[in-house]
Structure 1
């Protein structure tokens, strides 16, 4: 059973969600304050976390930033009033998805199931040279381990970042439009479609520096701008 941490100061939210989540074999634990949430995450044992934006001690954006300093655990943010800027900021800080309040519990479960599938463990890594491993000049992507090495150094990516990079690598040499990417990754709500892809690409570029890995073709989309290494 997957364990999910909810960090939200609304004491009335946790109990009914906990009961509802059990129908889908999800165990929900609530922390009412960010400090408690960070302490529980540090102890380990959670598969994903849900963060409210409006919190005491620190807001959800600062909490997201703090978590991302040490963990790539899937994060879903509950954004106040569904404001577009809240969602943009959350994605920029490393959240994997967002859901405006008020929300339907079934939609929250569906989004959790999506991010958990992205992080699902796969069989042990295959030997070097496996056809599943994608190697480019300065970049190595191992789908079995969901790991990425840039210039020989391991790079920590969120589930969404890894899936986008893996998509570009599988389609190396092809320009993928934002619609292509969203169709593959499931995407977000209509008004944020374009911005969501741009934000994840921006995050990837920063993490893959100094490689100039992803090229933008104006009015067309994105492509992986690295030469494939052939064994």
Structure 2
């Protein structure tokens, strides 16, 4: 899909900042849609009669509905890529946003070029989940009943599809690639953020928490990601039910 066909939903209540973001997104070849109210943003994602956005830039301090609640609501509906943009720089806010399903977090003040670069990278990862025809590719068996569609970037266990964000897919796929190996948090962080940005290792913990929650929703629930205190995580095939 060409850039000009990709719609970015900008949810920001500061008109000047929203205008700057939209200008840069337009210049990069994207269609930009601006909303200033959190409740309206959630309703927009729920509305199947309108063109589906390719990604969302989401402020946290919004009228109508807090950005974190918007993120939570969107994640109940879809795996729409979400980049949080906020002046709330506290690490707890960042981690909470990621735990609710956001894919990335940018703190204000920021470079609009950086935001566009983050969007482009996120969409590139999301595009990897689609075959050229938009159909599911052949599933390849992995250990413990897991299968992977590499072209479509989909993971499933015993036929049950895990609805993962692009970052979550990348993280779980890496753990599955070497069962029993302990990956340090820094190694996992480098794998999910190829631009080597300066972010806390605790970001990995947030993504793993999301993956564990989705594994726990399987029937029967699976608890196959083990934490190694002070080091990182490993996929534990012996824990597969």
- Mark yes or no: TM-score above 0.5: yes
Distance in 2 between the 1:126 and 1:52 partners? 35
Deviation at 1:94, TM superposition (A): 0.6
After TM superposition, the score normalised by the length of structure 2 is: 0.84
**Which residue in the other structure is 1:51 paired with?**
58
Residues 76, 96 of structure 1: 8 Å contact kept? yes
Q: Which residue of 2 aligns with 1:212?
A: 223
- 1:95 equivalenced with 2:99 (yes/no): no
> SS of the residue aligned with 2:124?
helix
Alignment gaps of 5+ in structure 2: none
- The answer to whether structure 1 residue 77 and structure 2 residue 84 are counterparts is yes
**How many pairs does the alignment contain?**
222
Q: Could you tell me whether the CA contact under 8 Å between 1:178 and 1:221 is conserved in 2? A: yes
Q: Distance in 1 between matches of 2:190 and 2:18?
A: 32
Identify which of 39, 44, 54 aligns with 1:35.
Answer: 39
Q: Secondary structure at the match of 1:28?
A: strand
Q: Deviations over 1:96-154 (max 9, x none)?
A: 000111111011111111211110133454445xxxx2422232222222222234322
- Equivalent residue for 2:186? 179
Correspondence for 1:122 = 131
Counterpart for residue 221 of structure 1: 232
Distance in 2 (alpha carbons) for counterparts of 1:66 and 1:82: 22
Deviations 1:200-221 (A, max 9, x none): 1111111112112211222332
Deviates more, 1:163-172 or 1:94-103: 163-172
Equivalent-residue separation in structure 1 for 2:166 and 2:138 (angstroms): 23
| Residue number among 108, 119, 122 corresponding to 2:115 in the alignment | 108
Q: How large is the Cα RMSD of the aligned pairs?
A: 1.9
Structure 1 residues 139 and 10: CA distance shift in structure 2, 3 A: same
Of 100-109 and 15-24, more deviation after overlay is shown by: 15-24
Partner of 1:13: 17
Match status 1:67 vs 2:74 = yes
**Conserved in 2, the CA contact under 8 Å of 1:80 and 1:86?**
no
Stretch moving more, 212-221 or 48-57: 212-221
TM-score normalized with structure 1 length: 0.88
Note the residue ranges of structure 1 that are not aligned, 5 or more in a row: none
Equivalent-residue separation in structure 2 for 1:44 and 1:30 (angstroms): 14
* Contact 1:4/1:50 (8 A) holds in 2: yes
Which secondary structure does the structure 2 equivalent of 1:119 belong to?
A: helix
How far did residue 49 of structure 1 move? 0.2
> SS state of the match for residue 227, structure 2?
strand
Using the TM superposition, give the Cα deviation of residue 53 of structure 1 relative to its aligned residue in structure 2, in angstroms: 0.5
